[in-house]
Amino acid sequence: MSATLAGVLFTGSLVLALAVVHRPLGDHMYRVYTGTRHARPERVIYRLVGVHPEAEQTWASYARGVLAFSAVSVLFLYGLQRLQNHLLLSLGFRPVVTHQAWNTAISFVTNTNWQSYSGESTMGHLVQMAGLAVQNFVSAAVGMAVAIALVRGFARKRTDRLGNFWVDLVRGTLRILLPIAFVAAIILVIGGAVQNFHDPHTVQTLTGARQPITGGPVASQEAVKELGTNGGGFYNANSAHPFENPTAWTNWLEIFLLLMIPFGLPRTFGRMVGSVRQGRAIVAVMATLAVISVTLLSFFQLAHHGTVPTAIGSSMEGVETRFGVADSATFADATTLTSTGAVNSFHDSYTSLGGLMTMVDMMLGEVAPGGTGSGLYGMLILAVVTVFVAGLMVGRTPEYLGKKIGSREIKFAAAYFLITPICVLAGTAVAMAGTWGRGGTLNRGAHGLSEVLYAFTSASNNNGSAFAGLTANTPFYDTALGLAMAFGRFLPMIFVLALAGSLARQGRTPVSEGTLPTHRPQFVGMVAGVTVVLVALTFLPALALGPLAEGVH
């Protein structure tokens, strides 16, 4: 079987599986976020944190809850790393250095999971479990909560209440993420992923050298790392490591896990706003962009113009032979489209245009389908921008789902989109302006710029994957990328919640003959076009100096 055909079958089976779970998973999440009953374990948690679950919040109170919870999480995770030598299951590892501990704490709390360290030689089992894995759950739940708050803004009228952040956080964690991750972890263990609390085993290699092999609670972290679109690997090699991703079918499962919730949330959105077809339109935009991206990236990796890749039929450099080029390209595309950051191949070794596509995926805003929650609210903001542009073209006040999109709403949407490009382009410029940034690159010229541009794109979009040619464990990069992660996560969330509050206070405008239909293929194409145009206008000059320059060299 040719590599191309195998890739088509691999991707086709993923599409089929996602189509099967889209409706039941979306309906389940709808019931979770709209139900009125609280389970007993949930009530215990509410009492412990002093929350009244029936009390709803304004957008400002909701935002304060998000920021307060995240700030406490950063302090807790930072403290765990700095004190790990005094904790159980530390494996004798020393405390993580200050700048790296700061970067890692910000990284996991923002759902970025950027790693400037090798997990198997830096973190003990307790820090991996109680610190990193816990944040894999709750950071994903925070993103879902913010998305649901925005959906409530569209669904409600003449109110300033968007729900209760603490209830949404707890329900998302206990009713959605935890059960699915539990089942997925068991399946991964069956597939050969490691799950133990052993000290490192010293083995003798084929060359006669002795090497310590670290085990640990890997499968449980791997499951939620993909499900919550987190991406932080237990090992430095991430999902290319056989202890994390043992076989071709576990590779398929991990891609499926990282896509299932982002593709299921549009169904939840449609149910909550009372129009399933609106949810279908949103998922159609996501799917359209994703299919185009997967096709292009796979083509660039399978049909590269180099002499050796042409002779063997693909570009194998940096690719794990257990998975092959097609499956690795699909994984790379899925992980950069969803803010996951997990990798099963070496992106720095991708062809110039293949590497370009991984950057473009992130620059799209990771909305196809995006991260858990962040993909949905990013796509809804794009829909708002689209109806605003369409309204300008016909001279009519734009509306979306019965809500007027005025100057206030479009300012929030515009501010949302400006944050990430500012972080990416300003961070890259500062890094390339001095030896503090250029000194960390493995390559010079266009590829060296690509390594830095990729790093800030990944951090600012809360993705977490890396080109891997950049030495990021330096005070400059740990600090700068940490700031990019924080600004890229929390400032957009504030604007999303402010927009949700503005929408919720409105009434509902009846549909008229001049209302733009937002459930038809025409609108799907318009949103996809606006997405691509925004990226092209914003990032094309930087891409022209990096991967595009390398590709035409």
Torsion, CA 456, CA 462, CA 468, CA 469, rounded to 10: 0
Q: What is the mean pLDDT of residues 24-29?
A: 97
Confidence of residue 510 (pLDDT cuts 50, 70, 90): confident
pLDDT at 242: 92
CA distance 476 to 427: 11
DSSP single-letter state for residue 52:
-
Cβ–Cβ under 8 Å, residues 165 and 65 = yes
Q: What is the mean pLDDT of residues 295-323?
A: 72
pLDDT at 19: 95
Tens-place pLDDT, residues 235-275: 988 999 999 999 999 999 999 999 999 999 999 999 999 99
- Burial readout 507-523 (b: 16 or more C-beta within 10 A, e: otherwise): eeeeeeeeebebbeeeb
Asked if the model's pLDDT at residue 308 lies above 70, the reply is no
DSSP single-letter state for residue 470:
B
Reported pTM: 0.94
Confidence of residue 125 (pLDDT cuts 50, 70, 90): very high
Burial status of residue 92 (CB atoms within 10 A of its CB: 0-12, 13-18, 19 or more): exposed
pLDDT at 544: 87
pLDDT at 375: 95
pLDDT at 352: 83
Give the pairing of strands 201-204 and 210-213. Answer: antiparallel
Structure tokens at 217: 């609670």
Asked if the model's pLDDT at residue 511 lies above 70, the reply is yes
Q: What is the mean pLDDT of residues 82-94?
A: 91
Q: Write down the residue that tokens 């709803």 correspond to.
A: 56
Asked if the model's pLDDT at residue 422 lies above 90, the reply is yes
Q: How far separated are the first and last CA of the chain, in Å rounded?
A: 33
CB atoms within 10 A of CB 47: 11
Asked if the model's pLDDT at residue 226 lies above 70, the reply is yes
525: CB partners within 8 A, 6+ apart: none
Confidence of residue 79 (pLDDT cuts 50, 70, 90): very high
Asked if the model's pLDDT at residue 438 lies above 90, the reply is no
Three-state helix/strand/coil letters over 391-444: HHHHCCCCEECCEECCHHHHHHHHHHHHHHHHHHHHHHHHHHCCHHHHCCECCC
Which of 98-102, 186-190, 409-413, 462-466 is predicted least confidently?
462-466
The better pLDDT of the pair 313, 448 is held by 448
Asked if the model's pLDDT at residue 306 lies above 70, the reply is no
Tens-place pLDDT, residues 522-550: 999 999 999 998 888 888 888 888 888 87
pLDDT at 209: 84
CB atoms within 10 A of CB 319: 23
Handedness of CA 131, 133, 136, 139 (dihedral sign): negative
Average pLDDT, the chain: 90
pLDDT at 305: 58
